[in-house]
Structure 1
Amino acid sequence: MSHFKDPPKKSLGQHFLHERGVIEKIVLAVNPQAGERLVEIGPGQGAITFPLLRRHGSLTVVEFDRDLITPLMEASEGLGELTIVHKDVLKVDFGKLAGDGRIRLVGNLPYNISTPILFHVLEHADAIVDMHFMLQKEVVDRMASAPGSKVYGRLSVMLQALCRVQPLFDVPPGAFRPPPKVDSAVVRLVPKPADQVGIANFGLFEAVVRDAFGQRRKTLRNAVQQLCSGDDIVAAGLRPEARAEQLEVAQFIALANHLAQRPPAAG
């Protein structure tokens, strides 16, 4: 007998995974090992939760929908130790959740807030071993895209600066209930060690990337004029007339690092 009686909630962007073959591929990709701490974002009706719990023995899940909490607890009995954090994922401190260790994240992310979730987890990248997320395929394409691509943008640069981005496999709409109107894909994100990232001032880097892509048609000089001059762009080794989508991730980092080293303006 199913413990889950309520239909998926449109307002929460819920699409519940049911395709067994896809679920098995996700669990194989995660491949949890003894002693690791697993955290799932948005377990829904437990399609990935219960196979992971059977395989690993313990799992923490972050679930916002109050109506799913009791059914999840009941259905997990005898499978392993399930800890439920009833909270909006955007308010979860993953660093705190990791304690003095590091966590592995898994999730079929709600498509209506997947980008804010990605930016939120990036803030805690040093507490995360890796992430396996199901997202809209077009979001995964953006995450992994290279300079010059039409979909290369802020999300691509921010993620690739901090993580290795590896698209794993596509998932058709029929694997979900209700079927979304788009294809989905599973992606693996592996945060880079801090010494490999090389960003001097993360806030400044974020501002450079945001402004550079704020108006895609503008040259770099015009897009980031609130932050720096054409001379600064040249000094960082970039062309002021270039456009944001032509720049490598390393070039954005070079510009932000150059700006971070400038002496403060005389008051």
Structure 2
Amino acid sequence: MGEGPARPRVRRDARAAAVSSHQPRKRFGQHFLTDDVVLEAIVDAIDPRPGQALVEIGPGLGAMTVPLLQRCERLTVVELDRDLAARLRRNPQLQVIESDVLKVDFRALAQQAGQRLRVVGNLPYNISTPILFHLLLAVDDVVDQHFMLQKEVVDRMAAAPGSKDYGRLSVMLQWRYAIENVLDVPPEAFDPPPRVDSAVVRMQPLPAPEGVDAQVLSELVTVAFSQRRKMLRNTLGRWMEERGVQAAFDLQRRAEEVPVAEYLALARLASPR
């Protein structure tokens, strides 16, 4: 019992030394998580287990990597920074993929692992949305996802119809994921501190709705939100006419008033049979 309080302090000292020896690179959007209480809460939310196929995006200096490994024993990490990748390779428990995450084939990783993936990470805020859409391509090969993101983005991801945050991102993620904000994180938990608040989001895949073509859904949702202040008759109405889609769909609304289920129903009618 007497040794309990000492362990976090040792981790914190080692982490501080690592941060001080590596200059964060702005082009990679690097902000290193250094708060032990926050780290423990994140790992508890993930609840990794031995034998699971975990993939961490952007492990950086390994702040979350080490406590994850203590529970899951092996981990695949995706790191673009070659200096950080070289550090990570020193750990025999890690499979290091030195790459831009947008070039990683997560479906192939699942096939290699022989099971669906659990994906985690402190995502670079400057490219978080492209990463989320890239992972959407592999949604059927994923158990769940836990990401640190800009809180504003998490609010948009989880937004309900009628709110100011509800938009294209909300619809295009909620049609395949149950989304939950599990933890708010202040700027001072990072080194260097970002200029925005952060949050940890949990994304659990949902079964693909039958008869919905993803490309058709993406197209109609993009059209619907292209002019948010206008009624849908001016945007989506024209799109439906051009495609010859006839549906009992109320066009006397704005895009943010339409629930995901209604967008799916319209996409089903417009999808090739």
> Structure 2-normalised TM-score?
0.89
Measure the CA separation in 2 of the matches of 1:199 and 1:23: 41
Counterpart in 2 of 1:96? 108
Aligned partners of 2:32 and 2:60 also within 8 Å: yes
1:31 aligns with 2:47: yes
1:134 aligns with 2:145: no
2:266 is aligned, of 251, 255, 267, to 255
Measure the CA separation in 1 of the matches of 2:222 and 2:131: 17
Aligned partners of 1:3 and 1:71 also within 8 Å: no
Measure the CA separation in 2 of the matches of 1:241 and 1:6: 55
1:245 aligns with 2:217: no
Measure the CA separation in 2 of the matches of 1:246 and 1:190: 24
Q: How big is the shift at 1:3?
A: 5.5
1:189 aligns with 2:206: no
2:172 is aligned, of 154, 158, 165, to 158
Aligned partners of 2:31 and 2:191 also within 8 Å: yes
Question: How far does the alpha carbon of each residue in 1:5-48 deviate from its partner, in whole angstroms, 9 at most, with x for none?
Answer: 22111111110000000110111111112221000000011110
Aligned partners of 2:53 and 2:117 also within 8 Å: yes
Measure the CA separation in 1 of the matches of 2:73 and 2:192: 29
Q: In terms of mean alpha carbon deviation, does 209-218 or 57-66 score higher?
A: 209-218
Aligned partners of 1:140 and 1:185 also within 8 Å: yes
Aligned partners of 1:41 and 1:63 also within 8 Å: yes
Measure the CA separation in 2 of the matches of 1:162 and 1:54: 31
Measure the CA separation in 2 of the matches of 1:183 and 1:3: 24
Counterpart in 2 of 1:265? none
Aligned partners of 2:74 and 2:94 also within 8 Å: yes
One-letter amino acid matched to 1:237: A
Measure the CA separation in 2 of the matches of 1:47 and 1:3: 10
Measure the CA separation in 2 of the matches of 1:202 and 1:246: 21
Measure the CA separation in 2 of the matches of 1:110 and 1:186: 13
Divergent runs of 4+, >3 A: 1-4, 230-233
Counterpart in 2 of 1:86? 98
Aligned partners of 1:166 and 1:189 also within 8 Å: yes
Q: How big is the shift at 1:89?
A: 0.4
Instruction: Give the alignment of 1:178-217 within 5 angstroms.
Output: 178-194=192-208, 197-217=209-229
One-letter amino acid matched to 2:105: D
Counterpart in 1 of 2:138? 124
Q: How big is the shift at 1:219?
A: 1.8
**Closer, same or farther: CA 43–226 of 1 in aligned 2, 3 Å:** farther
5+ residue gaps, structure 2, are 1-13
Measure the CA separation in 2 of the matches of 1:170 and 1:11: 25
> Structure 1-normalised TM-score?
0.90
Aligned partners of 1:221 and 1:229 also within 8 Å: no
Q: How big is the shift at 1:54?
A: 1.8
Measure the CA separation in 2 of the matches of 1:200 and 1:208: 12
Aligned partners of 2:54 and 2:117 also within 8 Å: yes
One-letter amino acid matched to 2:57: I
RMSD of equivalent CA atoms: 1.8
Aligned residues: 255
**Closer, same or farther: CA 30–210 of 1 in aligned 2, 3 Å:** same
Q: How big is the shift at 1:145?
A: 0.5
Q: How big is the shift at 1:198?
A: 3.2
Aligned partners of 2:55 and 2:78 also within 8 Å: yes
One-letter amino acid matched to 2:256: E
Q: How big is the shift at 1:231?
A: 10
Counterpart in 2 of 1:63? 79
